């Protein structure tokens, strides 16, 4: 999805009534038609294991050892980097959209 379509999804999501759920993965799966881009991203985000083993593997493949960065990265930052890297590799986020977002 493009930045514009994702922003439209974000706007719709933020304007929707708040719902309480015990299972966020299930909620995003059930709402995948309404929020296709956000649903994909949220399911990636919520499915990251709470262990550093897979994190180390991902960063090692890019020659960025998480063991070196572990003391410098907040958990949320590491999670965001993992998701972002995966989304770029899978084409969920296009290079041109990423560059446009970074330039502001």
Residue 35 banded pLDDT, cuts 50, 70, 90: very high
pLDDT exceeds cutoff 80 at 60: no
Q: How far is CA 80 from the centre of its chain?
A: 6
Number of domains in the chain: 1
Domain extent for 59:
3-103
pTM above 0.75, yes or no: no
Asked if residue 66 lies in contact with residue 56, where contact means CB atoms within 8 angstroms, the answer is yes
- Alpha helices by DSSP H, listed for 17-70, are 24-30, 36-46, 52-61, 66-69
């Amino acid at each position: 999805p493009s930045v514009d379509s994702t922003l439209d999804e974000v706007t719709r999501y933020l304007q929707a009534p708040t719902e309480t759920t015990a299972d966020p993965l299930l909620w995003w799966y059930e709402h995948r038609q309404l929020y296709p881009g956000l649903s994909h991203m949220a399911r990636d985000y919520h499915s990251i294991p709470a262990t550093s083993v897979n994190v180390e593997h991902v960063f090692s493949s890019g020659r960025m050892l998480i063991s070196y960065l572990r003391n410098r990265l907040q958990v949320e930052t590491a999670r965001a980097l993992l998701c972002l890297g995966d989304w770029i590799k899978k084409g969920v986020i296009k290079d041109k959209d990423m560059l446009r977002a970074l330039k502001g």
